[in-house]
């Protein structure tokens, strides 16, 4: 089912293609999980479709093979399984592939997602393809943080923005795609990211979120064992659990700052404290930074259980209640 919130982008790309004005390079700037890669896949099917008048028809061999990732004129580049980066060898292989003649005499399509996971070496390797694109090439870069890409790449791509959908839009699409479920609860945990949520088990996500919140409350009150909790979490669904911890800390910061309070008004140091005189906003922000650092370190050889234990011990010591 086509996500309704992508309607304007779809209309824009379809009109450009029909008028022969489709650029050779697109930067799809998406809110995380909002459908940037879905839109890139749709555009690939549009230009590879065998029926231009109704492209993408979603019925022809070109559309079906592209949707399955098996089209000979489509290359999808993602970080390799053991890495969070798109490597220079992958980008070079993409450049070679795009330089070949299309099997069906039409477009050659390349999708890099997430493009902001390229390091500077792979980004430099991509630059040559962007500067001298082969005829009939469509190269699409999907990124949620395009500021991480070099200006030389950004200047050579036409940007297409994909906003985060409204909760009602996201829930309606998830129900139509996956069926009934507590999708509102899932989005409360994962954020307005339906393309991430669609692969989740809604009951499991909501259950884990409730469990994490309960154990965090117990830890903050001194009634839980941080070591046992960290070991158990590190073995099962750690990325999801870290997202839940991040949400819990964010809620605490917002609650303790007070309704309508501006963080720019908070003085540095150990003040202001909450009504119980036990809360230090600086410490809360420090814990939030530690959780986010742990979330970004999944390709690093670190003991995640030990790092998580450190966060939980800090939570217990500071009694953030």
H helices of the chain, in order, are: 7-18, 36-48, 61-67, 88-99, 120-131, 151-154, 167-178, 183-190, 194-197, 202-220, 226-235, 238-257, 281-295, 304-318
In this prediction, residue 255 carries a pLDDT of 79
CA distances from 118 to 35, 133, 141 (A): 20, 19, 11
Nearby residues of 163 by Cβ (< 8 Å), 6 or more positions away: 5, 31, 34
Query: Do residues 150 and 123 lie in contact, with contact meaning Cβ atoms separated by under 8 Å?
Result: yes
Strands 74-77 and 108-112: parallel
The pLDDT score that the predictor gives to residue 134 is 86
Strand partners for 109? 74, 138
Same domain flag for 25 and 143: yes
* pLDDT given for residue 317 in this prediction: 64
Tell me which residue range forms the domain holding 219.
201-318
- pLDDT beyond 50 at 103: yes
Positive or negative, the CA dihedral 95, 99, 103, 104 is positive
Q: Does residue 295 form part of some domain? A: yes
Residue 262 has pLDDT above 80, yes or no: no
pLDDT for the residue 271: 38
Q: Which tokens is 124 given?
A: 């430099």
Segment 224-247 shows an average pLDDT of 89
Q: What is the mean pLDDT of residues 86-114?
A: 93
Residue 318 has pLDDT above 80, yes or no: no
Tokens of residue 235, six digits: 């073995």
3-state secondary structure (DSSP) of residue 292: helix
Q: From 142, 164, 186, give the residue that closes a domain.
A: 164
Report which of residues 236 and 298 the model is more confident about: 236
Q: Return the CATH number at 224.
A: 1.20.272
314's tokens: 């800090």
Residue-wise pLDDT for 165-181, tens only, equals 999 999 999 999 999 99
Q: What is the model's pTM?
A: 0.83
The full DSSP string for 142-160 is EES-GGGS-HHHHTTSEEE
Q: What is the mean pLDDT of residues 281-285?
A: 82
**Contact partners, residue 156, CB within 8 Å, separation at least 6:** 25, 127, 130, 131
DSSP state of 163: P
**CA angle at 191 for the pair 188 and 196, rounded to the nearest 5°:** 110
> How much is the pLDDT for 113?
96
> Is pLDDT at 265 greater than 70 in this prediction?
no
Mean pLDDT (the chain) is: 87
- With contact defined as beta carbons under 8 Å apart, do 242 and 294 qualify? yes
How far is the C-alpha of 244 from the C-alpha of 252, rounded, in Å?
A: 12
Does 210 lie in the same domain as 151? Answer: no
In this prediction, residue 270 carries a pLDDT of 38
- Would you state the pLDDT for residue 16? 96
Q: Supply the pLDDT for residue 258.
A: 63
Cα end-to-end span (Å), the chain: 44
For residues 130 and 237, membership in a common domain is answered with no
Q: Is the pLDDT of residue 264 over 60?
A: no
**Domain finish residue from 146, 164, 182:** 164
Average confidence (pLDDT) over 196-201: 95
Three-state secondary-structure class, residue 265? helix
Reported as a single tens digit per residue, the pLDDT across 110-147 is: 999 999 999 999 999 999 899 988 889 999 999 999 99
Same domain? For 132 and 219 the reply is no
Is there a domain that residue 178 lies in? no
Nearest by Cα to 269 from 256, 254, 282, 253: 282
Segment 23-77, tens digit of pLDDT: 999 999 999 999 999 999 999 999 999 998 899 999 999 999 999 999 999 999 9
Look at residue 273 and tell me whether its pLDDT is greater than 60: no
Q: What's the structural domain count of the chain? A: 2
* 227 or 159, higher pLDDT: 159
Query: What is the spatial distance between Cα 15 and Cα 188, in angstroms, rounded to a whole number?
Result: 35
Average pLDDT over residues 179-194: 95
My answer on whether 84 and 230 are in the same domain is no
- Specify the pLDDT at position 159: 97
| Inside any domain, residue 173 | no
Indicate whether 77 and 215 sit together in one domain.
Answer: no
């Amino acid at each position: 089912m086509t996500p309704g919130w992508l309607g304007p982008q779809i209309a824009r790309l379809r009109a450009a293609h029909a008028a022969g004005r489709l650029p050779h390079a697109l930067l799809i700037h998406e809110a995380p999980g909002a459908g940037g890669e879905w839109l890139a896949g749709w555009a690939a099917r549009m230009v590879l479709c065998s029926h231009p008048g109704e492209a993408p028809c979603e019925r022809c061999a070109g559309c079906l093979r592209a949707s399955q990732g098996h089209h000979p004129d489509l290359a999808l580049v993602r970080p390799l399984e053991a890495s969070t980066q798109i490597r220079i060898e992958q980008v070079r292989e993409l450049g070679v592939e795009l330089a070949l003649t299309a099997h069906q005499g039409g477009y050659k399509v390349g999708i890099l997602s997430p493009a902001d996971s390229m390091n500077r070496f792979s980004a430099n390797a991509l630059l040559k393809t962007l500067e001298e694109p082969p005829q009939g090439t469509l190269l699409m870069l999907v990124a949620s943080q395009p500021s991480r890409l070099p200006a030389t790449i950004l200047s050579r791509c036409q940007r297409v923005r994909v906003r985060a959908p409204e909760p009602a839009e996201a829930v309606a699409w998830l129900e139509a795609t996956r069926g009934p479920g507590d999708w509102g609860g899932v989005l409360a945990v994962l954020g307005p990211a339906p393309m991430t949520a669609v692969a989740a088990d809604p009951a499991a996500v909501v259950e884990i979120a409730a469990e994490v919140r309960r154990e965090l409350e117990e830890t903050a009150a001194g009634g839980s064992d941080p070591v046992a909790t960290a070991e158990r979490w590190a073995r099962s669904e750690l990325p999801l659990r870290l997202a839940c911890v991040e949400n819990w800390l964010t809620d605490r910061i917002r609650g303790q700052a007070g309704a309508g309070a501006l963080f720019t008004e908070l003085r540095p140091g150990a003040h202001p404290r909450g009504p119980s005189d036990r809360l230090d906003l600086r410490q809360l922000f420090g814990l939030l930074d530690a959780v986010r650092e742990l979330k970004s370190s999944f390709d690093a050889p670190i003991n995640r259980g030990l790092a998580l234990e450190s966060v939980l011990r800090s939570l217990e010591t500071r009694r953030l209640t």
